[in-house]
A and B are shown apart, each in its own frame.
Chain A
Amino acid sequence: MKIDRRCFLSLVIGGAVGTTLTPVPWKLTDDIAIWTQNWSWTPEPEDGPSKFVKSVCTQCSGGCGIIARTIGNRAIKIEGQPDHPVNNGSLCPKAISATQHLYGPSRIQGPMKRAGERGQGKWEKISWDEAISTVTEKLAELRTRGKPHSVACISDTDRNSVAYLLDRFLRAYGSPNFIRTPSSADAQELALYLSFGRQGTIGYDFKQSDFILSFGCALMDGCDAAGQMMSAFGDMDKKTRLVQIEARLSDTAAKASQWVAAKPGTETDLALGLGHVMVRDGLYDKAFIDSHGFAFEDREDEAGNAYPGYRSLVRDYSPEKVAKTTGLPEKTIESLARAFARARRPVAVTGFSNPAAASVNQALAVFALNALAGNFQKPGGVFVIDEPDYLSWTEMKIDKTASAGNQQARIDGAGTKRFAHTRYLPNRLPEAINSSQGDSPVQALLVAGGNPLYTLADPQSAKKAFEKIPFIVSFSTFMDETAEQADLLLPHPHFLECYQDVPTPAGMAKTVISLARPVVKPVYDTRHTGDVIIETAKNLGGFIENAFPWKNHEDFLKKTLSDQWETLEKQGYWTDDSSRDNSLEKLFRTSSQRFEFLPRAGFETQGSENPKSKVQTVSLPGDVNELPLVLVPYSTIRISGGAVANTPFMTKTVDANVIAQQDVFVEINPETASEYGLSQGDKATLKTPAGNAKVRVNLFEGIMPGLVAMPAGLGRTGFSDYIAGKGVNVYGLIAPAADPASGLNAAWGARAAIGKA
């Protein structure tokens, strides 16, 4: 008998055949499938009794009520709060997936100081004591040197308790430089102040309106308005007409009854053109204008100077002329004006969640339409919501250093003679620093909320300015683009881990204060920014310490919200439903005590020139021949355009013709694309005065020829590998263009050229 290779092979083959006749392969396959689910990195749901906590999402300014389900100390799911006055159960994908940010790798896990060069990403862990004493020492040193006004603070809001504490801290310390990051609400709020004489927000009663005329508002595209709008549309009468004025077929335009594709940047002209038709045909609320309108007719002041009124201003905006500017047929303008005027409860909206900046004049022109319709403080109309009054504490005593510092001019130029009524000019800050000779006017910068190095127009120049600031502290929860360039990180807890008051979001027609509450115990070694401010104030001692008689932020919040605290704790929100005064008598606090069509306050700052010359559209920088196209940003509910980036879940929901791998697609009309020899999916280079970007082409019939549209919210460098490096930040391609009336950035787009890469 000879045993050779064949014997061995047949033994193996016999074994293999035999094995198939046993349960081994089948059972092992099944077991291995289950074994793969036991890998340590496979997420496994917690088991145990559920708890439900009512809270509010603070990831954008929308202020949607949420209910967080927890098991043990784990947040499991976030849903809309069904009875919340803002969103009534609706929620956007960013809020739904907020737990991904809570537990994700974007979090800053504890206080850290920079170990390498700025932006290198090298950090050294430090203790909270060391972190706070570093800040205290720096601030004390600047004060000793008599330079308290060289401290600036950037925040994304000036309306909640943290912003209040920061502002109070700066005033006690001696700096006027509290700066709010830009948003589409800036021009609105200024226009509100100029024409109504009130500081606050504008609310729209969408639910009861029967005709909504939206000037490019991303009502159903961005996340700022999403909760409110989804809730309103659910309750709306089917007869409600939504007319969307936008150059691009956005989701809002697609859901509207009528889509009016006017050229971008001509909204002011269109609003004045509609006003022209309404005034010409007598289709306006004469009673309201007689009793509450100012500067509707031409007027003379006491000195005998003549000022034109709204009537003569709009005379120049005939449908024929506006048709040319906006690219709309005359018939559309005429019929739109009539439809608006004849609706029972019409409302015109602008500056509400718009992806692009708009001018104050645009806001005023749209307010005028509402005034013509006489819809102020009426169901289905426009409501004025004052700044929250719960954050008011007795004036504090300050020392001489602080008083001298507070009297210095603001570094961003807001409130100076030129921009007397503008509160914050964040887009002028980089320029102010970059153009200064010698030392930067900002010696220490505290960034508490917001992400200016991402959200400011032209963040490259802002980054250059930041390089000149010797000391930057970021209070960010996440390693965002601004935190990356900081020297010291003092991470604020995630909104699911702490108390935070959220005052009435823009667009709401009544006062709604919501309270974000700790849903879970802090996951990392974070500390509330309010606590850090109070502790720093105590460390600085003297008058500054005395200005902060609270133990911590929670103590402050409880005391300041004393009347409402119980309601907030119980139901998560407080509203003034029953106590609102909706009469027109006390509504207007302008010097005329009336609604000012052409605000006097505006003239005061700009001299007494003919206001007609000032109703101008903001022109975009750049040579039309070299840059024949216009780049416009657009919002989508699947991409977060604000300070807080997308969750990875949101990115997964984005279509393959918006992002593919690392590339962003720009929308371009096939007609325009063929002029430049571009076809679907082509790689292209986009050029604007602010920079170049590599993009891909998505042919879209729904966009006006001559435009290039890019989604806002991409091109992040911070957060985590799941989020960063996808696409391009559209605001990085749009250099700021100052609104002459306010100094605010009103760049609604950028001149651009595109070519095959």
Chain B
Amino acid sequence: MSTQSDNQTAAAGNRSSGWVVFVFFMIGLVASIISGWVAFPELLYSTKQQPIDFNHQVHLEQMGGQCNSCHFFREDGSFSGSPTLEECKSCHMYPMTGNENEQKFIDEYVNQDKEVPWLIYAEQPPCVFFSHAAHVKGADMQCATCHGDIGHSTSLREYQENRITGYSRDIWGKSMLRLGEPDHGGRHQKMNDCAECHLKETGSKGDCFQCHK
């Protein structure tokens, strides 16, 4: 018995005291919280500029005030997304305005016959089947409801790319806690956002296979 007790005392003498341990615990706790909330979001996203600063407002005015002049539905009902070089070229084969961005577009893309590598804020992974037709034609929704009033913007926002997934920060949202609405209007576009809206509008979150074919 006595031997055991001696050993315990000896061991206690060699240990650091409780408050030192607590301080270290707190250092770990605070450091990780700060890095998780402040450093992590900074590290996770890289900021990129669009290849060309596109003015939606000007185009909207020139093209008759309709988004679908450039972002149209194909004959088979599928959505065309961003215009291709071919479509842009139908107006911008040669400079029309003297705008430096237009000149850049013609020099770097039209003349070199290269598609513009637009960074798409609302791009979803390939496992997601999203039908624009069902929402725009079927449910009569406005583009701005999800995408914000991008049509009246004069400049393209900076694009924050998730370094792990390669997709835009817009999908998750600026807030790590996914609080609030996007600054640019519209909606965040994670699965839960789809489900939330579907629940509200249709009474059901929908089935897995509706989007994940």
Instruction: List B5-46 residues whose CB lies under 8 Å from chain A.
Output: 14-17, 20-22, 24-33, 35-37, 40-41, 44
Instruction: List B57-94 residues whose CB lies under 8 Å from chain A.
Output: 74-76, 78, 80-81
Stretch at the interface among B143-151, B161-169, B194-202: B161-169
Rounded to whole Å, the gap between the CB of B209 and the closest CB of chain A is 16
Partner pick for A34 among B32, B33, B164, CB 8 A cutoff: B164
Rounded to whole Å, the gap between the CB of A45 and the closest CB of chain B is 6
Stretch at the interface among A7-15, A585-593, A635-643: A7-15
Point out which of B28, B78, B125 has the most chain A C-beta atoms below 10 A from its C-beta: B28
Asked if A19 and B166 sit within 8 Å, CB to CB, the answer is no
Residue A129 interfacial (CB < 8 Å): no
Residue B177 interfacial (CB < 8 Å): yes
Residue A580 interfacial (CB < 8 Å): no
CB-defined contacts of A23 to chain B, threshold 8 Å:
36-37, 40-41, 176-177
CB-defined contacts of A15 to chain B, threshold 8 Å:
28-29, 31-32
Partner pick for B29 among A3, A14, A38, A44, CB 8 A cutoff: A14
Asked if A8 and B15 sit within 8 Å, CB to CB, the answer is no
Q: How large is the interface on A (under 10, 10 to 19, 20 to 34, 35 or more residues)?
A: 35 or more
Stretch at the interface among A24-32, A191-199, A421-429, A729-737: A24-32
Residue A287 interfacial (CB < 8 Å): no
* Contact A17 B29, CB 8 Å, known A1-B16, A35-B165: yes
Instruction: List B136-176 residues whose CB lies under 8 Å from chain A.
Output: 162, 164-167, 172, 176
CB-defined contacts of B81 to chain A, threshold 8 Å:
47
Asked if A6 and B36 sit within 8 Å, CB to CB, the answer is no
The distance in angstroms between the C-alpha atoms of A3 and B23, with both chains bound, is 11
Asked if B74 and A22 sit within 8 Å, CB to CB, the answer is no
The distance in angstroms between the C-alpha atoms of A4 and B24, with both chains bound, is 11
How many residues of B are in contact with the other chain, CB < 8 A?
A: 40
* Contact A11 B127, CB 8 Å, known A23-B40, A32-B164: no
Chain A's closest residue to B21 (CB) is A10
Instruction: List A27-59 residues whose CB lies under 8 Å from chain B.
Output: 27-28, 30-32, 34-35, 37-38, 44-45, 47, 49-50
Residue B117 interfacial (CB < 8 Å): no
Rounded to whole Å, the gap between the CB of A7 and the closest CB of chain B is 4
**Contacts across chains A and B counted by CB atoms under 8 Å:** 112
Chain B's closest residue to A38 (CB) is B166
Chain A's closest residue to B175 (CB) is A23
CB-defined contacts of A50 to chain B, threshold 8 Å:
74, 76, 78
Residue A21 interfacial (CB < 8 Å): yes
The distance in angstroms between the C-alpha atoms of A555 and B211, with both chains bound, is 46
Residue A2 interfacial (CB < 8 Å): yes
Residue B203 interfacial (CB < 8 Å): no
Asked if B162 and A31 sit within 8 Å, CB to CB, the answer is yes
The distance in angstroms between the C-alpha atoms of A1 and B19, with both chains bound, is 10
Partner pick for B32 among A3, A4, A16, A28, CB 8 A cutoff: A16
Instruction: List B185-200 residues whose CB lies under 8 Å from chain A.
Output: none
Residue A304 interfacial (CB < 8 Å): no
Rounded to whole Å, the gap between the CB of A677 and the closest CB of chain B is 46
Rounded to whole Å, the gap between the CB of B12 and the closest CB of chain A is 12
Point out which of A19, A22, A31, A37 has the most chain B C-beta atoms below 10 A from its C-beta: A22
Residue A18 interfacial (CB < 8 Å): yes
CB-defined contacts of B75 to chain A, threshold 8 Å:
49
Residue B98 interfacial (CB < 8 Å): no
Partner pick for B74 among A6, A31, A34, A49, CB 8 A cutoff: A49
Partner pick for B17 among A2, A10, A28, CB 8 A cutoff: A2
Asked if A14 and B126 sit within 8 Å, CB to CB, the answer is no
Asked if B16 and A3 sit within 8 Å, CB to CB, the answer is yes
CB-defined contacts of A45 to chain B, threshold 8 Å:
126
Interface CB pairs A-B, < 8 A, 11: A1-B16, A2-B16, A2-B17, A10-B21, A14-B27, A18-B32, A27-B172, A35-B164, A38-B165, A49-B76, A50-B74
A14-B29, A17-B28 given. 15 additional CB < 8 A pairs?
Answer: A2-B15, A7-B20, A8-B24, A10-B28, A11-B24, A13-B25, A13-B28, A14-B25, A19-B32, A23-B41, A31-B164, A35-B164, A49-B76, A49-B80, A50-B76
